């Protein structure tokens, strides 16, 4: 059976502060995030669905709806509701791609999460371009030596490792370790995933 720890490391919730809203929708998002972090997935799902309804009132291409859908997709993956996760993440991706003022780092997060789902479901040909787009967006937005770039490199390395493509995985892990050592310091616990990907 596949070790799920590596797969879950790849998933990223958008932070509550990114939603930038007060009132019932903001409260629902905050409650959903707290419930998720405590492992109360049923409660988190209910709160995210409430937030989704509220966000949809702003229109089908609203950025906050994409944020809710991203987080709902991550939650569905945790609950092993893979078809629902794919639907939510694909909707979020379409919304990000239609934005007049795109948010490249949020788009990168959704690309990463959908790629992770595809990897878990062994849909490798669909996952690889998404991981590569995520990496390219982060490099362009943050520069080549940023911790989020290292995370994207690590995730792409894990993608190749999963398929026993060690020659492709190794240089990605090496670059991720270099960036993490430089930006976070050699004692940072975040180095462990890149140094020992099958742990």
Do 22 and 114 lie in one domain? The reply is yes
Assigned domain for 65 exists? yes
Gap between the Cα atoms of 199 and 44, Å rounded = 29
111 and 137 Cβ atoms separated by less than 8 Å = yes
Residue pair 130/111 in contact (Cβ under 8 Å)? The answer is yes
In a domain, 134, yes or no: no
From CA 127, how far away is CA 122, in angstroms rounded? 9
Mean pLDDT, the chain, rounded, equals 85
The answer on 80 and 152 residing in a single domain is no
pLDDT tens digits for range 17-34: 555 555 666 778 888 888
Q: Are residues 22 and 102 in the same domain?
A: yes
Which among 67, 96, 125 is the end of a domain?
125
What pLDDT shows up at residue 33? 86
- Does residue 106 sit in the same domain as residue 150? no
Look at residues 125, 151, 185 and tell me which one is the last residue of a structural domain.
125
pTM above 0.85, yes or no: no
Higher per-residue confidence, 54 vs 132:
132
CATH number, domain at 37? Answer: 1.25.40.10
Please say if the pLDDT value at position 184 is more than 90: no
Looking at the fold, whether 55 and 97 belong to one and the same domain comes out as: yes
Query: Within this chain, do residues 40 and 116 fall inside the same structural domain, yes or no?
Result: yes
Residue-level pLDDT at 4: 34
Domain that holds residue 52: 4-125
State yes or no: pLDDT of 188 exceeds 80.
no
pLDDT of residue 196: 53
> Within a domain: residue 17?
yes
Q: Tens digits of per-residue pLDDT, 107-157?
A: 999 999 999 999 999 999 999 999 999 999 999 999 999 999 999 999 999
Helix axes 63-78, 82-98, angle to 10 degrees: 160
Provide the number of structural domains found in the chain.
2
8 and 82, same domain (yes or no)? yes
Quick one: 107 and 40 in the same domain?
Answer: yes
pLDDT the model gives residue 187: 65
């Amino acid at each position: 059976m596949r070790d799920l720890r590596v797969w879950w490391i790849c998933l990223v919730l958008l932070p509550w502060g990114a939603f930038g809203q007060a009132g019932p929708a903001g409260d629902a998002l905050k409650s959903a995030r707290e419930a998720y972090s405590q492992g109360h997935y049923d409660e988190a799902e209910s709160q995210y669905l409430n937030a989704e309804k509220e966000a949809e009132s702003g229109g089908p291409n609203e950025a906050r709806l994409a944020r809710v859908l991203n987080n709902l997709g991550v939650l569905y993956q945790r609950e092993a509701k893979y078809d629902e996760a794919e639907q939510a993440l694909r909707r979020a991706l379409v919304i990000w791609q239609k934005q007049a003022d795109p948010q490249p780092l949020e788009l990168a997060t959704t690309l990463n999460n959908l790629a992770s789902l595809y990897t878990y479901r062994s849909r490798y040909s669909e996952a690889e371009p998404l991981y590569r787009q995520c990496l390219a967006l982060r490099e362009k937005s943050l520069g080549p030596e940023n911790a989020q770039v290292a995370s994207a490199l690590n995730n792409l390395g894990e993608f190749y490792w999963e398929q026993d493509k060690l020659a492709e995985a190794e240089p990605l892990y090496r670059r991720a370790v270099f960036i993490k050592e430089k930006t976070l310091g050699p004692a940072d616990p975040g180095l462990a995933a890149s140094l020992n990907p099958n742990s």
